[in-house]
Amino acid sequence: MTLPLPRPVFDASTGSGGFGKLPEWDLRDLYPAPDAPEFTRDMGWLETACTDFAARHEGQLATLDADALLACVQDYEAIDVTAGRIMSYAGLRYYQNTMESERAKFMADAQDRITAFTTPLVFFSLEFNRLDDAHLDQLLSQNADLARYRPVFDRMRAMRPHQLSDELERFLHDQSSIGAAAWNRLFDETMAGLTFALPFEDEPLNLEAVLNLLTDPDRNRREAAARVLAETFDKHIKLFSRVHNTLAKEKAIEDRWRKMPSPQHGRHLSNHVEPEVVEALRNAVVAAYPRLSHRYYALKAKWMGLDRLQVWDRNAPLPMDAPRLVDWDEARRTVTDAYAAFSPKLAELAEPFFTQGWIDAGVKPGKAPGAFAHPTVSTVHPYVMLNYLGKPRDVMTLAHELGHGVHQRLAAAQGELLSATPLTLAETASVFGEMLTFRKLLDGAKTTAERRTLLAGKVEDMINTVVRQIAFYDFECKLHAARAEGELTPDDINALWMSVQAESLGPAFDFMEGYETFWAYIPHFVHSPFYVYAYAFGDGLVNALYAAYEDGLPGFEEKYFDLLSAGGSKHHRELLAPFGLDLSDPAFWDKGLSMIAGFIDELEAMED
């Protein structure tokens, strides 16, 4: 089980920070406690179930008729549910306080045991992929319940050209907890343990709190935050370089053995998306840099009365903005009202997150930074993590993560194996939830200044989601290509980072000494290589979906819920056909980028 990646965005006793009572997770829907008999029972069941499954089915898949193969798949799915439930509980407890040794040990021990228990299952996908196509097609035609799993089988069989021997696959599975997972954990614990001393703060701050200062109205405080980040990252840069060098090399070795044509190919396979679709997205965004980020940041420099922007100005509030904090109740009301305006059903699906302990919102010592929605397993419910600091952007983060949560609730009806949505479509409901919230706020704007503030904030969020994430993707592509030529020094990685930053942010920026190390804190590069294009993918897709909604596409609401409820049971072509959308059309991505450009047009017009 891998927890979702945080979305890149103190009263220590309560985590409230003056925003009202912030909710905390109630994990008892997973297990009552770490030492609960239910946890011990499920661990014991899992060990026996895995052993029994292998004893019954290994070497036998080709002999099973349709009914027997269905029973086999359902047994596998039940094992997946229990293993996922255990690791969801262990992982979520750990993310609440990554600095507590007991929680770290509990998660590591659970992962080690589950890895050992499930090693006998490695045969299943390997043997399944050796089934003859005609034989499998015949079985699927004989049993409709088995045929439901075809999308799962298709994704498995897409890996056939890259499948290793049974012995090698077992070895890779067996050592997984001490390979990339161990480096991931080292990165997480190092980041969670960093402290930053600032002259205007009585106590050292954690990473999340310092990143939050980059949106402070006071430019001196923003600069101080940027410089202390650079100073601290530089002190640990050799460790972060070692993490990236090791993970990139490990991936390259496995990719070579699997005959992957590129470092990105495995991600595209897991996302069930064609490489040419991703390449079209990447090329469209890069070509749009001048009319998006370059143009917007030139406008922002003018608003701020600056000839040049510094990196600490990128997410600064506009000088005409009245600084304000949004308490939790207002944030909840804003998002749920926006959801309800689209569909009461959407608001109803979001309600239990607020009332049943499904959100952990406060900033607390040791808590993982960022935000995410974790689906746990299809038999329980999702949990949302935030680090709520009362900024307007935090309200959008709430809207985003609740969108994920609603999506995960709807998709759960597909069952464990079919509910997981490929990353490229997993951002659909989250970005759509943001758009609903933004549009409701924009419609309620009473003055031109308020409208400009909202538009500028949305443009900045979209640039961070589209331009910045594609720049991240290009950085990763360059990093993995360079690592294939040999070990990378910190200076080598720094240079790759700056090459994409200057290109994507544009000529309005100067880059302070030390900014070249800011690649170090991005968790996506460590946890899930090439994940980041999913954000840009989701934004472009949602812009096109929202345009269809605004244009009054008949039955949009029903079609939208059908899309979310499908989970991973359909390919993106089939899911988007009812909306008249085709991601393989090279012009598709320009439609979404034009929406961002249109917002900038409106902002420029306000200057006339």
Give the tens place of pLDDT for each residue, 168-221.
888 887 777 677 888 998 998 899 889 999 998 888 998 988 998 999 999 999
Choosing from 129, 154, 178, the residue where a domain stops is 178
Identify the band that residue 90 occupies on the pLDDT scale cut at 50, 70 and 90: very high
Residues 34 and 111 in one domain: yes
CA dist list (Å): 246 to 152, 187, 298, 557: 31, 12, 39, 47
Does residue 479 lie in a domain region? yes
pLDDT of residue 307: 94
Give the tens place of pLDDT for each residue, 412-443.
999 999 998 887 788 899 999 999 999 988 88
Residues 430 and 556 in one domain: yes
Q: Percent of the chain at pLDDT above 90?
A: 71
Give the tens place of pLDDT for each residue, 309-337.
999 999 998 887 666 788 999 999 999 99
Residue 69 reports pLDDT greater than 50: yes
In 3D space, the residue among 101, 76, 83 whose CA is nearest the CA of residue 39 turns out to be 83
Mean pLDDT of 97-115: 94
Does residue 223 lie in a domain region? no
Residue 529 reports pLDDT greater than 50: yes
Mean pLDDT of 147-171: 87
Residues 443 and 555 in one domain: yes
Give the tens place of pLDDT for each residue, 389-404.
888 889 999 999 999 9
Q: What are phi and psi of 360, to 5 degrees?
A: -115, 110
Residues 453 and 602 in one domain: yes
Residues 118 and 252 in one domain: no
Give the tens place of pLDDT for each residue, 539-577.
888 888 998 998 999 999 999 999 999 999 988 889 999
Identify the band that residue 8 occupies on the pLDDT scale cut at 50, 70 and 90: very low
Mean pLDDT of 237-250: 96
Contacting residues for 380 by C-beta, under 8 A, at least 6 apart: 29, 30, 85, 88
Does residue 15 lie in a domain region? no
pLDDT of residue 47: 97
pLDDT of residue 608: 59
pLDDT of residue 10: 32
pLDDT of residue 11: 33
Does residue 384 lie in a domain region? no
Containing 193, the helix (H) or strand (E) segment is helix 180-193
Q: What angle do CA 483, 490, 480 make, to 5 degrees?
A: 20
Alpha-carbon distance of 103 to 548, in angstroms, equals 46
Radius of gyration of the chain (CA): 24
Full residue range of the structural domain in which residue 462 is found: 244-322+423-608
Residues 265 and 139 in one domain: no
Does residue 355 lie in a domain region? no
Residues 577 and 470 in one domain: yes
Alpha-carbon distance of 231 to 517, in angstroms, equals 9
pLDDT of residue 12: 31
Does residue 231 lie in a domain region? no
pLDDT of residue 170: 80
Residue 522 reports pLDDT greater than 70: yes
pLDDT of residue 553: 94
458, burial (CB in 10 Å: exposed 0-12, middle 13-18, buried 19+): buried
Domain count, the chain: 2
Choosing from 142, 157, 178, the residue where a domain stops is 178
Identify the band that residue 6 occupies on the pLDDT scale cut at 50, 70 and 90: very low
Output the average pLDDT for the chain: 91
The secondary structure of the chain in percent helix, strand, coil, rounded to multiples of 5, reads 70, 0, 30
Residues 440 and 581 in one domain: yes
Give the least confident one: 254-263, 476-485, 498-507, 577-586. Answer: 577-586
Residues 162 and 271 in one domain: no
Residue 409 reports pLDDT greater than 80: yes
Does residue 436 lie in a domain region? yes
Identify the band that residue 18 occupies on the pLDDT scale cut at 50, 70 and 90: low
CATH number, domain with residue 43: 1.20.140.70
pLDDT of residue 87: 97
Mean pLDDT of 258-287: 91
Structural tokens at position 408: 């995960």
Choosing from 128, 156, 178, the residue where a domain stops is 178
Does residue 52 lie in a domain region? yes
pLDDT of residue 171: 84
Residue 350 reports pLDDT greater than 90: yes
CATH number, domain with residue 428: 1.10.1370.20
Residues 252 and 163 in one domain: no
Residues 161 and 272 in one domain: no
Contacting residues for 525 by C-beta, under 8 A, at least 6 apart: 244, 472, 475, 476, 479, 519
